[in-house]
């Protein structure tokens, strides 16, 4: 298994309200939700996804993480993106059907967004600023602690069931939730 580069961040400049205080529409949905109001205080794994990528089978392991840890205050948040070689060309309805029918995805998926460059959506601008690492490909993962700060980022090749990623999730879940 080789040494994995995991960007553990001792001090992230983004506060919960700054990082997560953004509105996104659930995939193929009509009304936006505020991420801070909906997911604040949870441990989150934010992932940019694509349906026609070599890493697409990671959907299955992401759903397994969701099932395993949801009751403890964890959620995967998926953001489809067509930023890398056009690997997410479908409509939101097509993406939703693919994820549900092919991989049984039930974790929250949101509107198709840009995750890199000057047109990156505000959430991904903030994730990149906090970690100094923009997604290099589909299925880049950012782990956000209960306090709303990015605590780690994992490149695409790190699978959702990787020991280092799972250990980081477990570590964050062991932190007492903040009182609001």
Catalytic positions, please?
Answer: 53
Question: Taken in order 31, 35, 36, 39, is the CA torsion positive or negative?
Answer: positive
Query: Residue 97: exposed, middle, or buried by beta-carbon count in 10 A (0-12, 13-18, 19+)?
Result: middle
Phi/psi at 110 (5° precision)? -120, 175
C-alpha–C-alpha distance, residues 170 and 140, integer Å: 19
- Cβ–Cβ < 8 Å for 79, 179: no
DSSP states of 84-150: TTT---S-HHHHHHHHHHHH---S-BB-----SSTT--HHHHHHHHHHS----STT-EEEE-TTS-E
Record the tokens describing residue 63, joined without a space: 């759903």
């Amino acid at each position: 298994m080789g040494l994995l580069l995991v960007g553990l961040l001792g001090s992230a400049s983004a506060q919960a309200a700054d990082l997560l205080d953004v509105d996104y529409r659930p995939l193929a949905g009509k009304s936006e939700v505020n991420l801070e109001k909906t997911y604040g205080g949870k441990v989150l794994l934010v992932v940019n996804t694509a349906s026609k990528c070599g890493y697409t089978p990671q959907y299955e392991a992401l759903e397994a993480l969701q099932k395993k840890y949801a009751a403890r205050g964890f959620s995967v948040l998926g953001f489809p993106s067509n930023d890398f070689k056009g690997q997410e060309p479908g409509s939101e309805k097509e993406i939703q059907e693919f994820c549900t029918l092919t991989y049984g995805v039930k974790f929250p998926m949101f509107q198709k967004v840009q995750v890199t460059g000057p047109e990156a959506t505000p959430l991904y601008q903030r994730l990149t600023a906090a970690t100094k690492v923009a997604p290099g490909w589909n299925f880049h993962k950012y782990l956000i602690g209960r306090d709303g700060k990015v605590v780690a980022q994992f490149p695409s090749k790190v699978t959702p069931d990787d020991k280092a990623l799972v250990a980081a999730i477990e570590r964050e879940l062991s932190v007492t939730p903040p009182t609001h």
